[in-house]
Amino acid sequence: MPPRVLAVLLMFTPMAFSAEKPVTTPLPKGVQKVEVGFEPAEARPGQVVTFKLTVTLAEGYHTYPLLQADKQAAEMVNKIDFPEAGPIVFVGEAVNPPAPESKAEPLLGIKSLNYYSGKVVYERKAVVSPKANAGAINVAIPKFVLSVCDKDSCFPPKTLAPEAAFKVLDGPAVVVDPKYVAEVQKALKDK
């Protein structure tokens, strides 16, 4: 096929639904970008998807997990508030990225302070509500409190409210994964 014909065909081909949506509000010092999205970015009602919140840090900066193992470091965390059940029902708990770096902070009584550098991805499972209508939606995360530090100091936490784009596919609902059925039923009953 000639390159011009291929280029014209590609212009009229529907674009795939974007998997990640960047946060456009001002970011904290040391943060290059924050993106949120679902994998897959489109699914049928009843399907399990994975929500991902990705923080990309500049060289020399670090951030924290959602939960510290050392109780003395319990305040040195990031926090994600998830929305109530709607077309997307969040299930289980949010998961810290694997393999954190760790250091002692003896002056604070902390034996093991976990932190992350570079690209940091927080995840949580979600189920597309069996009652969801087909179509594109935005899932707003009401609050993401992000703490960032460099080697010398920490900056005041920044509160962001990112939104993730998602598309509910048309068609009958699939059977919800048995390990999430009770959570989905309770969330939808409470609505």
Mean pLDDT of each 10-residue bin along the chain, 191 residues long: 37 40 74 96 97 97 96 96 96 95 94 97 97 95 96 93 96 94 89 62
CATH topology of domain 15-189: Immunoglobulin-like (2.60.40)
Half-sphere exposure (Cβ direction) of 44: Cα atoms closer than 13 Å: 8
Half-sphere exposure (Cβ direction) of 166: Cα atoms closer than 13 Å: 32
pLDDT number for residue 23 = 63
| Helix, strand, or coil (residue 99) | coil
The DSSP H or E segment spanning 123 is strand 119-128
What are the boundaries of each domain within the chain? 15-189
pLDDT number for residue 7 = 37
pLDDT number for residue 1 = 40
pLDDT number for residue 171 = 86
Encoding tokens for residue 34?
């924050």
Cα-based torsion angle of the residue sequence 143, 104, 123, 126 in order, rounded to the nearest 10 degrees? -70
pLDDT digits (tens, 9 = 90+) for 98-131: 999 999 999 999 999 999 999 999 999 999 999 9
pLDDT number for residue 11 = 34
* CA 168 from centre of chain: 18
Which residue type is seen at 35? E
Listed residue (105, 101, 106, 53) closest to 80, CA to CA = 53
> How far is residue 78's CA from residue 105's CA, in Å, rounded to a whole number?
18
Give the angle 17-40-31 at the CA atoms, nearest 5°.
80
Which residue type is seen at 54? T
Distances from the Cα of 141 to the Cα of 42, 62, 83, angstroms: 18, 22, 6
pLDDT number for residue 21 = 61
Please state whether 7 falls in left (phi above 0), alpha (psi between -120 and 50) or beta.
Answer: alpha
The residue to which tokens 């570079």 are assigned: 118
